[in-house]
Amino acid sequence: MKNSIIQDIVPQGGRKIPNIEKIKIEELRTPAVKITGSEYEEDLSSKPQPEPIVNILPKVEIITPEKYVPQRRNNVNKKLIFIIVIAVLFVLGVVLLINKYFSYVYIDITPKTQAYTLSKEGFTASKAENMPLHFEIMIVDGEDKQDAVFTESKDVSTKAKGEVYIYNEFSTKPQKLLINTKLIDDKLNVYLTDKEISIPGYKTSGTKIIPGSIAVNVTAALAGEKYNGEPRDFSIVGFKGTTKATKIYARSNGSLSLGRTGQYYMLSAQDKGKVIVDSGTALYNKLVKKLQAQVPPGYIVYTGSMQFSKKISDEVFESKTPEGTVTITGTLSAPIFKIDELNVALIRSTYSDVKDEEVKEIYSQKMKEFVFAYTDTNTLINKSTTNFKFNLTGEDTLLWKPYVDILKNKIIGTDKESLDTFYLSDPGIAKARAIFRPPWQSKLPEDISHIKISVE
């Protein structure tokens, strides 16, 4: 069976069938043939013959599969290459983005250490601000009370005593007062000065008068408890009614005490000694805690430098009743040092070759545990002390603390391989280890906050 000519045509560039004019049926008749062997014979050769159908069809290029498939493959390859290029650019962009915003480096540093021993190392401390090792004086006071049973008794008659300051606002010239000059307080109690004095004249600062003053001890005119008391104001009895009455005056410095009369109970000698020891120890411990609590930040104090003094008078061991309370007062004084200055002094005394810039990185870990002792055992620490020498003994380990912020600024954005050079250039680093996230980084982050350094 013949295939249709139209079915054999594969249009170029697609499946569109070309526009072929409709062929009349009569033109497609079979060409003239001569039929023989039949009772009918007809010569059809003389009749006009139609042109072959192939001549009336448009010329159509036959595109075989062999020609069509490679063209489709070329288009596919171009698309694939384009996709690959876009993917590569995307990956590179992601990598750059990660490196800039999500890259971190974690550096663990093991600092350098060096053990040392102090054995009666001598240091000099001075009150002067420009000295290498400066000190300040701290003084605290307090009291301790102990319940006691008073087993002995006696009749007593004593006068109150105390100290007063006498002021001169009357004249720029000194004013003399004789011994036993009478002073009277606001309760009309009379006291006598214990010696002759000369009160300095006043000074002026602009329109302000600065009175001259002098301290003197006084004793109550009579015995009795009513003369005891806290600070009070006095006037000079001899100046009453004169211009000096309000210009020369006095005020007690501390309390007036020891005034008493009548029967009093007292502690036995044995009980008195025990109370002194127990109360003194309790007061000392109380004042040590009080002083340590008041040490300013950045300063250090040693218990071995503290000097304790207690104030005990006979009246504290006496009572109006068989059972009473013994009160002991005292003060505690000690020098305090700036930790940074003392740290430098310790380092230079044990590590003489240290460089100035390196000193700032070294710290003595146990300096607070050293034993303090004055070189001169007779050294007194009070407000007038200007300098002294002392020794420290003990064992410690110097610890280097590299400045993390300075190190970060040195290594920011540098090559990975250059880290070892930075480690070696810092004398305070014994060893270091760096971990990069992500691990393919060849440089340290440009963002300093992405550089994490920890010192073990």
Closest of 148, 126, 149, 122 to residue 137, by C-alpha = 126
Q: Give residue for tokens 């307080």.
A: 185
Structure-model confidence comparison of residues 361 and 40, the more confident one: 361
Closest of 133, 130, 126 to residue 347, by C-alpha = 133
Indicate the pLDDT class of residue 376, thresholds 50, 70 and 90.
very high
Q: Spell out the residues 6+ positions from residue 206 whose beta carbon is closer than 8 angstroms to its own.
A: none
Of 232-236, 349-353, 387-391, which range is least confident?
Answer: 349-353
Structure-model confidence comparison of residues 68 and 72, the more confident one: 72
Predicted confidence (pLDDT) at residue 206 exceeds the cutoff of 90? no
Q: What pLDDT is attached to residue 319?
A: 85
Predicted confidence (pLDDT) at residue 237 exceeds the cutoff of 90? yes
What number is the average pLDDT over the span 195-215?
93
State both tokens at 136: 């300040």
The CA-based diameter of the chain, rounded to the nearest angstrom, is 193
Q: What pLDDT is attached to residue 25?
A: 47
**Cβ burial 304-322 (10 Å sphere, 16+ → b, else e):** ebbebebebeebbbbbeee
Q: What pLDDT is attached to residue 93?
A: 63
What number of helices (H) and strands (E) belong to the chain?
Answer: 7, 23
Predicted confidence (pLDDT) at residue 147 exceeds the cutoff of 70? yes
Closest of 319, 9, 391 to residue 146, by C-alpha = 319
Q: Spell out the residues 6+ positions from residue 217 whose beta carbon is closer than 8 angstroms to its own.
A: 161, 162, 163, 164, 193, 194, 195
CB 395 within 8 A of CB 118: yes
Indicate the pLDDT class of residue 50, thresholds 50, 70 and 90.
low
Question: 223 in helix, strand or coil?
Answer: strand
What's the pLDDT tens digit per position in 400-435? Answer: 887 777 788 888 888 888 787 777 777 778 888 888
What is the average pLDDT score of the chain? 82
What number is the average pLDDT over the span 285-289?
96
Most confident of 58-67, 135-144, 263-272, 418-427: 135-144
Predicted confidence (pLDDT) at residue 116 exceeds the cutoff of 50? yes
Q: What pLDDT is attached to residue 352?
A: 74
What number is the average pLDDT over the span 111-122?
81
Most confident of 45-49, 100-104, 199-203, 440-444: 199-203
Indicate the pLDDT class of residue 31, thresholds 50, 70 and 90.
low
What number is the average pLDDT over the span 370-396?
93
Q: Indicate the pairing of strand 451-455 with strand 104-111.
A: parallel
Q: What pLDDT is attached to residue 77?
A: 78
Of 89-93, 105-109, 153-157, 429-433, which range is least confident?
Answer: 89-93
Closest of 63, 80, 53, 67 to residue 8, by C-alpha = 63
Closest of 296, 308, 316 to residue 150, by C-alpha = 316
Structure-model confidence comparison of residues 456 and 219, the more confident one: 219
Q: What whole-number percentage of the chain has pLDDT above 70? A: 80
Q: Residue 198: what are its φ and ψ, rounded to 5°?
A: -130, 115
Predicted confidence (pLDDT) at residue 394 exceeds the cutoff of 80? yes
What number is the average pLDDT over the span 90-117?
74
Structure-model confidence comparison of residues 38 and 338, the more confident one: 338
